[in-house]
Chain A
Amino acid sequence: MSGPQAGAGRLPDAYLAAGSSSFADFLGTTAPELLPAHRSLPAGSAADLAPHGTTIVAATFPGGVVMAGDRRATMGNVIAQRDIQKVFPTDEFSCAGIAGTAGLAVEMVRLFQTELEHYEKIEGSTLSVDGKANRLATLIRGNLGMAMQGLAVVPLFAGWDERAGIGRIFSYDVTGGRYEETAFHAVGSGSLFARGSLKKLYREDLDEDGCVTALVQALYDAADDDSATGGPDLARRIFPVVHVITAAGGRRLSEAEVAEVADRVVAGRMQRPDGPAASLS
């Protein structure tokens, strides 16, 4: 921790100065080396240097929003990790799932978590969902230089909007573009297959349990066709991370709860490998 010192031992002036309630801004003035955006890379592609996270899916239901992520991280053709966590609570009423360069993405989520908590403590109130989504966009925009060298981070953000009383989902592009999604969305290498699956499975009147099942089905379909997405690992009992947010707050479903859903989905696929059939009309 560096900074101009006004007196021996006392807190540096930057700590006592009136200023922004943003932690990232504070970090930029006192310890810019800790900000992901302030790093410069040598020329060339760095895309194959670090593991990549893959598929994240999210969907809303009346009364909340659910996000789920598979557990695989890949480096080229190698499975770098089988049980990586890619969906994180960012505060009590929001969560973020990450696809792209895992190390940078996890760092960005940590910064974003601190950013939200910092604002809440300093201002004594929480940011609106749109405010949170915009802050995340700013962090991603700062990463553009690295994205152009192959170290892209593309999160999916979901939160409970207390004022409107609905769950909301936001997706991003590497330039920090922020897009609100309706009903459901998916990001990452398996997202095409997951989105196709959700198109057929999603209903607006799903309850929490049904919504979780639809997302686990979608991840199964993504893993079915995308080599970088991991399906339920029955031998090791590794199942997706599922985070549910309602008006009462957010919680990560326990291993046992997700295992129960995943076992049901896998049992169904034993009968019909392509999953539940949607009606033709």
Chain B
Amino acid sequence: MSTPFYVSPEQLMKDRADFARKGVTRGRPLVALQYADGVLLASENPSQALHKISELYDRIAFAAVGRYNEFENLRIAGVRLADMRGYAYDRRDVTGQGLAGAYAQTLGTIFSSAGEKPYEVELFVAEIGDEASDDKIFRLTYEGMVADEHGFAVMGGNAESVGRYLKEQYAAGGDLAAAVRVAVAALGQSEGETRVIPADDLEVAVLDRTRVQPRKFRRISTGTLRELLGDRGTETPDGDRPEDGEAAGVSMPSSVDRPEDPTDLVSGGTPPLEDPLTGEPPIAPPPEPGQ
């Protein structure tokens, strides 16, 4: 029996965090921002069927980036928890804080449990109150940290560029149209370029205090979105992202070897790890291209 390598706990946690963070930042950004009548959530998502933003309860919404199957799992758990609590007690007893707490515990336990792969997700749990000052946006990271965000929050890929744009342009207390415009413009920001995201590729939803129904969650249709956005110039769709293929249930192994990416399926020119005892590679290296 071979002796396992010693890995320090710090290194182990750092590796797990790097792994999870990489999964989260590979996707497209998602923004949450407060406006006069509630909270707006928006992301670029070419898929019409697989949502990143959805309803948890009357006044609570869920948004996520990262691996679809993992956050979908968490979303369903949240719906179950919320409905269970609302049924056992009362609808008013379901709170965003309670749900965020349950998510934090779950993500934290999974992250530090050695037997499980850390979830490659980041979540927002948004909740609206009767007044704008009661609105809350909780941000949950892959290791189970909870942060209470004010005004706006960004997660996913290009989060820095998007956040920088929002810091300059976001004004508190705006109406829905203003919130949609600044959020969508922010999503189009990436290092060194600005893109106009096609309205068809956007997923936008709000928690709207002014709705008469008790359920305040509302998706904004593409038609309404176009009206709210007005004329923005030529639309440029984004290229394929790994998350799109994953979301459609198709695995798309990238054909390039990226040694820094632990999940790519190509080993390319990088030789596989040697067996520590024999010094032999465990499998034959792939033939050089052209041979």
Contacts and interface: CB of A to CB of B under 8 A. Distances in A.
B51 A124 contact: yes
Nearest to B107: A10
Contact of B213 (A16, A27, A30, A92): A92
A7 B51 contact: no
A10 B110 contact: yes
A26 B51 CA distance: 23
Interface in A83-110: 92, 110
A31 B88 contact: yes
B113 interface: yes
A121 B56 contact: yes
Interface residues of B, number: 27
Interface residues of B: mostly helix, strand, loop or mixed? helix
A118 interface: yes
A111 B84 CA distance: 10
B77 interface: yes
Interface string A1-30: 100001111110001101000010011001
B77 A27 contact: no
Contacts of A126: none
Interface string B98-109: 000010011011
Given A9-B105, A11-B102, A122 B113 contact: no
B81 A15 contact: yes
Contacts of A30: 84
Contacts of A10: 105-106, 108-110
B86 A114 contact: yes
Nearest to B55: A121
A221 interface: no
A27 B105 contact: no
Given A11-B105, A117-B83, A16 B77 contact: yes
Contacts of A148: none
A15 B82 CA distance: 11
A261 B116 CA distance: 64
A34 interface: yes
Contacts of A31: 84, 88
Q: Which of B51, B73, B108, B109 has the most CB of A within 10 A?
A: B109
Interface residues of A, number: 25
Contacts of A111: 87
Interface in A105-136: 110-111, 114, 117-118, 121-122, 124
Contacts of B178: none
Contacts of B54: 121, 124
B84 A16 contact: no
Contact of A9 (B76, B77, B83, B109): B109
Contacts of B77: 11, 15-16
A27 B84 CA distance: 8
A23 B102 contact: no
A11 B87 contact: no
A259 to B, nearest CB: 21
B51 A15 contact: no
B228 interface: no
Contacts of B109: 6-10
A124 B76 CA distance: 11
A117 B58 CA distance: 10
Interface string B73-100: 1101101110111111000000000000
Interface string B41-62: 0000000010100111000000
Contacts of B215: 117
Interface string B178-201: 000000000000000000000000
B87 A16 contact: no
Contacts of A11: 77, 81, 102, 105-106
Q: Which of B56, B80, B83, B86 has the most CB of A within 10 A?
A: B80
B215 to A, nearest CB: 8
A26 B80 contact: yes
Contacts of A8: 109
20 contacts: A9-B109, A10-B106, A11-B77, A11-B105, A15-B81, A16-B73, A16-B74, A16-B77, A16-B106, A27-B84, A31-B88, A117-B215, A118-B83, A121-B55, A121-B56, A121-B79, A121-B83, A122-B76, A122-B79, A124-B54
10 A-B pairs with the lowest CB-CB distances in the bound complex, closest first:
A9-B105, A7-B109, A10-B109, A15-B77, A10-B106, A11-B106, A121-B79, A10-B105, A16-B77, A118-B83
Interface of A: 1, 6-11, 15-16, 18, 23, 26-27, 30-31, 34, 92, 110-111, 114, 117-118, 121-122, 124
Given A18-B73, A34-B88, 8 more contacts: A1-B85, A6-B109, A7-B109, A11-B81, A15-B81, A92-B213, A114-B83, A118-B80
Interface of B: 49, 51, 54-56, 73-74, 76-77, 79-81, 83-88, 102, 105-106, 108-110, 113, 213, 215
